[in-house]
Structures are given as C-alpha cells and as structure tokens.
Amino acid sequence: MSSQTSHSTLFRAFRPQAVLGLASASLSLLLGTAIASPAQASDLEMRVAIEEDVQQTQIGGHTDAVVTDSSGRVLGEIRGGTALTATYAGGGVRMGEWQADALWVEPENDGFVWIGSKWYRGKARVVPTAQGLTVVNYVNLEEYLYSVVGAEVPTTWPLEALKAQAVAARSYALYQRQTSANTVFDVGDTTRWQVYAGLEEEAASTQAAVKATEGQVLTFNGQIINAVFHSSSGGHTENVEDIWQSPLPYLRGVPDYDQEAPVFRWQVRLSADQIRQAIPSVGTVVALEPERLTPRGRVVTMRVIGDSGQTTVSGNELRRMFNLRSTLFTVQQQYGRVAAVDGTQAPSEFVIDGGGFGHGIGMSQYGAYGMARQGRDYREILAHYYSGSTLSRIRVE
C-alpha cells in the first residue's frame, strides 16, 4: 500500500473502545415479550449520512486507514492520526492523489474514522450525489445506538429511561431502514431522523443501556413500529392522526409523566412588529385566533387578523417562524396605553404560553425520565407510550 504525504493532523481526542465486525444483513423477528435468547443484532449495519451535498470534507482515521474504490481495489492508505480533504470533482471524488466514482475509508485494527469534524465508529464511504459529496458512516447498529442515546437524552438519566430510549431508537432506525432508505443511506444524523454525533455522545451509561436491550425492538402485528419520540408533551401525548395524517393503533394519546421537564411550561413574548414582519400580508396584526385545535389543544391552524386583511397559518409554520418549542400554546394580546386617533387600539405585544417540546407523538423522553424516577422499568415505559406494542427481538439472517 502506498501512503500519502499531504495530510492534515487530527487533534481532537478519541476514546479507544472495541469495535465489533460489520456486515450487511437482512433481519426477521422473534416475537413475544419473553426475551431470553442471545441477540444477533451485532451483525447488522446502518448507513448513516454524516455530510450531504458538500463540496469538500475531511476524512481520516486514528489508525492507518485503507482507501479503496467502489470495486474494492486498494488505492493506498491514510496515515493514522491524519486526514485528507475529499473534494467533489467532475462528478466523482478526489482525495489526495486518488480519484474515483466513490471511495471507501476503513481504519485498520478497529480504529475510528474521522468525518468532517468528529470521530465515528465503523468506516466511511464517500460518494458523489446531485449537488456534491455525501459521506456515509457504515456502522454496527448497536454501536450506532451508543451515540444516539447519548445525543437524544442526558447520559446521567436513570438507566431504565436510557434503556427505553435505546429500544425506541433501535425500532425507529430499523423502521426507517425498511421504509425510507435510499440507494446511498438509511438515515441521516439530525433531528429530522434522530441525532447521531459519533463518539463524543457516548458514555458508559449509554453503552450499558444498549447492551442490556441488545436487539430488542417494538412491534405491532409482527412489524417493527415507527417508534417516534419527542422531548416533552406538556402533560398528555397526542393521537398521531391529530398531528399528522394516518392513524396508527400504537401511537395513541396517553397521560404524560413529564412534569419535571424544564420545558413543561414556557412563555414567549412577541411584539406586534415581530409578527407583522413575519406575516406582512395582513398589515398591523390585531388578533391571533385559533381556527383548529387538536383535542389536547395543539394549534393546527391559526387565523391571523390584521388591519389590511387576514390569513390562516398552520401551527407548525408559527412554531418555525417564532422558534416555539411546540404547537401546544395559547395567545394573549397585550395593549399599550396609547390608542389611535380614531379610538381603536391594536395590541402592542402577544404573549404565548406553551407547554412541552416537540410534536407530542409517541414516547415523551422526559416522561420516560419521570416514570423511571417512579421506579418503572423500561418495559413499562415503552408499553405506556406505544399502546399495544410488543417487545420483540430481531434475528439477523
């Protein structure tokens, strides 16, 4: 193998831990709540998009990393502790002296791979896509979850809450792998999917939670469920069809245990001018009136009334416009002391009182925390938030 000389040194520390072997595999389910047989999830690999449509990025390893092309031909290696810049070039990938339609970078001796600005387990594939490069981390499912659990909830939480998060995250990842994967990757690494940030989000507690639940998923009628979750519901989760479209029997609204969440109740104050700038078509805003609410009070649509017209805005649009934590909110109008010449008075400020953080469907993470603090185990937590689901184990074939 040849080696490169134009390396950049990687200074960020890594945590050396054992890495299991990787392999592509299909899976089936061992159904039932009694889970006693050894798991085989350690052979299942996830393809996680770390960088999408970028013009260039840094790739390296903490040990020497072998570089191959898409046919498996060895091109050379990147010296351990250094990185090269991968560049989008002519519809292909250029890295150092190599250029190919795609490149693989695999650290030797169970090393870690550097992608962009972080360390990851597994290996990296760099491929050209429509608008640039996409870098995909091929990583063992269980080791992927070490990071997801730590990125999604505090690692200091009770172990039963972390275990519930591990099972929900595993189920969600495999559901997405089965229903939404494309030819390049299975999932992304942001909140659009579930957060994954490599080694920096791992902890002994997250590893313990994943290992204690290895291979366990939630199923309904023999199929892995879409085990969505959110931070806090503000007191009661929602029926899925009241927020999204299709009803699902396992995503039903239930009382939440999230009263200890720092976002259980929150308030945002917006000036009339802030709203006018965000929604200029109605002129000076006179009132915000709920048009459609869910049974639990989340805003589906809101009528925005101004002195030159009115419009309907969805709760999700309002949440995005004003960086609100959820669509569970009410609006109160505040008036200044000075009225207009004609005696009328427009609100000077709108006070938004809300609750919870996120869409409110499926498992509430702070609710899981609250239940764990009450002595409930992860099975009870999952059964509460995913109605009628069964705890099952995947079998890799």
Q: Over the Cα atoms of the chain, what is R_g?
A: 25
pLDDT at residue 15, rounded to an integer: 33
pLDDT band with cut points at 50, 70 and 90 for residue 30: low
pTM of this prediction?
0.88
Residues paired with residue 154 on neighbouring β-strands, in sequence order: none
Q: What are the residues whose beta carbons fall under 8 Å from the beta carbon of 72, sequence distance 6 or more?
A: none
3-class state of residue 193 by DSSP: coil
Higher pLDDT, 327 or 9: 327
Q: CB burial class (10 A; 0-12, 13-18, 19+) of residue 28?
A: exposed
Distant-in-sequence, close-in-space partners of 185: CB < 8 Å, separation ≥ 6 = 47, 48, 49, 134, 136
Task: For residue 350, count other CB atoms closer than 10 A to its CB.
Answer: 20
Confidence of residue 12 (pLDDT cuts 50, 70, 90): very low
Q: Is the dihedral of CA 302, 303, 305, 311 positive or negative?
A: positive
The H helix count followed by the E strand count for the chain is 8, 25
Distance in angstroms (rounded) separating the CA atoms of residues 5 and 26? 40
- Specify the pLDDT at position 14: 34
Q: Are 195 and 152 in contact, with CB atoms under 8 Å apart?
A: yes
| DSSP code per residue over 202-220 | --HHHHHHHHHTTTEEEEE
Helix (H) or strand (E) holding 312: strand 309-314
Say if residue 326's pLDDT is above 50.
yes
How many residues are there in the chain?
397
**Cα 96 to Cα 14, 82, 189, 217, 343, distances in angstroms:** 24, 12, 27, 42, 73
Distance between CA atoms of residues 371 and 333, nearest Å: 37
What whole-number distance in Å separates Cα of residue 188 and Cα of residue 105? 19
Q: What angle do CA 243, 245, 251 make, to 5 degrees?
A: 65
What is the pLDDT confidence band of residue 277, given thresholds at 50, 70 and 90?
very high
pLDDT in tens, 366-381: 999 999 999 999 999 9
Q: In one letter, which amino acid is 351? A: V
Reported confidence tier of residue 396, pLDDT bands at 50, 70, 90: confident
